[in-house]
């Protein structure tokens, strides 16, 4: 007989994280219903994901289109929301629009054009976040702060459904100032969505206004 201790613990970790989010939201006088927890399942197999589906988790994140195409068609339920949280090549725009409900990594005009064409073709319009390079780390993707206004104008002209800003702050430093900056930029540009906060800092992100937190390791364990 197999034990289901791993699924118990996945469900338990999920419950803990939801509690943490609710507590951080309460401290910031926010409604926790306005915060979407995305379970970042990249590199983890179906067996690790199923217990979370069973526990009622609806939102999942992947960072590679091909991996998501291989895993999710068989797994996804009618209420599953798939989020693309990794960098996206323009030549994968069609596949991404086909599969994902939300795309977090829009960061350059060429990708805006490719996504707009893909959406027209598919007749589907996934919500889009503009990823901002808050830590000036171009290798992570994200639009430079100086180029954000023009990229937003381009995305709006192309009729992308831009719902907010996304950031990945530098590792190993306090994330709060980067979250606060991203929140201010979103406010300045009239955007309500804020995708920020990962395993080590999702509570801080919630206090500073995150509407989407992207949590992998704290839910699934390390990616090895
Ligand atoms: C992997 C990843 C996450 C999850 O990171 P954890 O530290 O494992 O929670 C969140 N956002 C992005 C963009 C990622 O690539």
Ligand 1 within 6 A of 166 CB? no
Q: What domains are there in the chain, each with its CATH number?
A: 7-220 (3.20.20.10)
Q: Which atom of ligand 1 is nearest to the CA of 215?
A: 9
Q: What is the pLDDT of residues 184-201, one digit of tens each?
A: 999 999 999 999 999 999
DSSP-assigned letter for residue 143: B
Which tokens hold the place of 31?
Answer: 């409604």
Taken in order 12, 51, 215, 204, the sign of the CA dihedral is negative
Q: How far is the CA of 215 from the centre of ligand 1 (A)?
A: 6
What confidence category does residue 8 fall into, taking pLDDT thresholds of 50, 70 and 90? low
Going from the C-alpha of 88 to that of each of 25, 54, 131, 162, the distances in angstroms are 31, 29, 11, 16
Q: Which atom of ligand 1 is nearest to the CA of 166?
A: 13
Q: By three-state DSSP, how is residue 44 classified?
A: coil
Residues 6 or more apart in contact with residue 117 via CB below 8 angstroms:
93
What confidence category does residue 222 fall into, taking pLDDT thresholds of 50, 70 and 90? confident
Q: How far is the CA of 214 from the centre of ligand 1 (A)?
A: 6
């Amino acid at each position: 007989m197999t034990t289901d201790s791993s699924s118990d613990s996945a469900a338990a970790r999920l419950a803990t994280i939801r509690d943490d989010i609710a507590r951080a939201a309460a401290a910031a006088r926010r409604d926790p219903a306005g915060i979407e927890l995305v379970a970042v399942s990249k590199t983890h197999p179906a067996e690790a994901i199923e217990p979370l589906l069973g526990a009622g988790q609806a939102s999942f994140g992947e960072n590679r289109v091909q991996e998501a195409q291989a895993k999710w068609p068989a797994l996804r339920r009618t209420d599953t929301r798939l989020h693309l949280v990794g960098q996206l090549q323009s030549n994968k725009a069609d596949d991404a629009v086909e599969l994902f409900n939300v795309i977090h990594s829009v960061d350059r005009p060429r990708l805006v054009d490719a996504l707009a064409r893909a959406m027209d073709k598919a007749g589907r319009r996934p919500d889009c976040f503009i990823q901002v390079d808050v830590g000036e780390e171009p290798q992570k993707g994200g639009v430079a702060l100086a180029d954000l206004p023009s990229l937003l104008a381009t995305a709006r002209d192309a009729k992308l459904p831009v719902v907010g800003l996304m950031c990945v702050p530098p590792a190993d430093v306090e994330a709060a100032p980067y979250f606060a900056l991203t929140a201010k930029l979103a406010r300045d540009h009239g955007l309500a969505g804020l995708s920020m906060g990962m395993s080590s800092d999702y509570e801080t992100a919630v206090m500073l206004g995150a509407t989407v937190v992207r949590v992998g390791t704290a839910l699934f364990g390390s990616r090895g």
